[in-house]
A and B are shown apart, each in its own frame.
Chain A
Amino acid sequence: DIQMTQSPSSLSASVGDRVTITCRASQSITIYLNWYQQKPGKAPKVLIYAASSLQSGVPSRFSGSGSGTDFTLTISSLQPEDFAAYYCQQTYSTPYTFGQGTNLEIK
């Protein structure tokens, strides 16, 4: 199975900050990498697919980059509604695996 490792596991930031979350795969997954946001008690929501494609309706302050084994999710200017958990996911091969998550908290 492909292991996905996110860092950091938790992050405190302020409104307006630029934030970067990283995700590393245990083997190359080319661009088969998605990012999700999850708020408490809610289902996840896709933000970025194929490493850098912005899902329709997602604000442009979210961006993704990377290929191979190393990926990043960047939020250019944090908004109050962005405080949530973030997960990366590989869909290169089954079982599709998720990172352990990054909890983004208000400083």
Chain B
Amino acid sequence: QVQLVQSGAEVKKPGASVKVSCRASGYTFTDYYIHWVRQAPGQGLEWMGWIITNSGGTNYAQKFQGRVTMTRDTSISTAYMELNWLTSDDTAVYYCARGNFKTVLRGVVTDRLYYFDSWGQGTLVTVSS
């Protein structure tokens, strides 16, 4: 079965960086994008970006541009999310999710309607001095 397993909890000081891993199994890793979503304590869900696991191309939310880097290692079916210049506002659970899609007609072209059909268990990142 499809499974995404993330690395363990991290405690970081302000200004530091964190790198979270997400190991996929049960499907062909390069057939689906990996998305990253975070959730601050008691708050809602926030999309951070995606990585195209085949090519390595990325699309980051503007909020995180310049501070986030998403990479992947196809040889071990693992995606990574690195976030730099951490502040207390970055304290959150970070999730990776597989981006499945449904092909739809958008105007005169076909498009992919993405949804996240499998999620990692989450990685708590705590930023504290």
Interface residues of A (CB under 8 A from B): 30-32, 34, 36, 38, 43-46, 49-50, 53, 55, 87, 89, 91, 94-101
Complex-state Cα separation, A60 to B100, whole angstroms? 21
A residues near B45, Cβ cutoff 8 Å? 36, 38, 44, 87, 89, 98, 101
Complex-state Cα separation, A71 to B118, whole angstroms? 23
Interface residues of B (CB under 8 A from A): 35, 37, 44-47, 59, 61-63, 95, 97, 100, 102, 104, 106, 113-117, 119-122
The answer to whether A49 and B102 touch across the interface, beta carbons within 8 angstroms, is yes
A residues near B122, Cβ cutoff 8 Å? 43
The answer to whether B119 and A50 touch across the interface, beta carbons within 8 angstroms, is no
B residues near A96, Cβ cutoff 8 Å? 35, 47, 114
The answer to whether B61 and A100 touch across the interface, beta carbons within 8 angstroms, is no
CB distance from A36 to the nearest CB of B (A): 8
Interface SS of chain A: loop
Knowing A43-B120, A45-B119, say if A95 contacts B47 (CB, 8 Å). Answer: yes
**Cβ-defined partner of B47 (8 Å) among A32, A43, A98:** A98
B residues near A43, Cβ cutoff 8 Å? 95, 97, 119-122
Knowing A95-B61, A99-B44, A100-B44, say if A31 contacts B119 (CB, 8 Å). Answer: no
Name which residue of chain A comes closest to B47, CB basis: A96
The answer to whether A31 and B47 touch across the interface, beta carbons within 8 angstroms, is no
B residues near A100, Cβ cutoff 8 Å? 44
Knowing A43-B122, A94-B61, A95-B61, say if A34 contacts B115 (CB, 8 Å). Answer: yes
